[in-house]
């Protein structure tokens, strides 16, 4: 099961770097909601809003930004549910994400995402 989740996370990282919407729809469940709080500003972003943002911008890969991905934790709750913590570079931002995953119709998908901008790459 851990290997399945690790393979899924490679797809997740790839989606964020390429912003391939077909793969995006395979990784994020349509009911997914993204949450963040930065400098006391709470962000709640439903799937459709996030998908529109991704669709409307150039991908990090097309912009020549290096990819840096790290899996920090995989916590399997059951054969159908897991929580994952990852750190990645998105453009010049260093992000930390908590992903709530569920296995639906034989594949893992993100049902909720908490994200935090942990810093910026300056070099």
Quote the pLDDT of residue 56. Answer: 87
pTM over 0.85: yes
Residue count of the chain: 123
Q: Which domain holds residue 88?
A: 2-120
- pLDDT tens string 29-75: 999 999 999 888 999 999 999 999 999 899 999 999 999 999 999 99
Number of folded domains that form the chain: 1
- pLDDT tens string 79-117: 999 999 999 999 999 999 999 999 998 999 999 999 999
Sheet holding 93-104, edge to edge: 41-46, 28-38, 107-120, 93-104, 81-90, 69-78
- Residue 11 sits in a domain whose CATH number is 3.10.450.50
- Token pair, residue 104, equals 């639906």
């Amino acid at each position: 099961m851990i290997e399945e989740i690790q393979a899924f996370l490679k797809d997740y990282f790839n989606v964020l770097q390429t912003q391939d919407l077909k793969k995006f729809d395979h990784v994020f469940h349509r009911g997914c909601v993204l949450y963040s709080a930065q400098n006391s500003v709470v962000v709640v972003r439903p799937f459709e809003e996030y998908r529109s943002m991704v669709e409307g911008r150039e991908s990090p890969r097309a912009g020549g930004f290096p990819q840096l991905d790290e899996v920090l934790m995989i916590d399997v709750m059951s054969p159908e549910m897991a929580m994952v913590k990852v750190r990645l570079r998105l453009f010049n931002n260093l992000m930390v994400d908590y992903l709530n995953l569920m296995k639906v119709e034989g594949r893992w998908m993100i049902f909720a995402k908490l994200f935090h901008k942990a810093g910026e790459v300056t070099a």
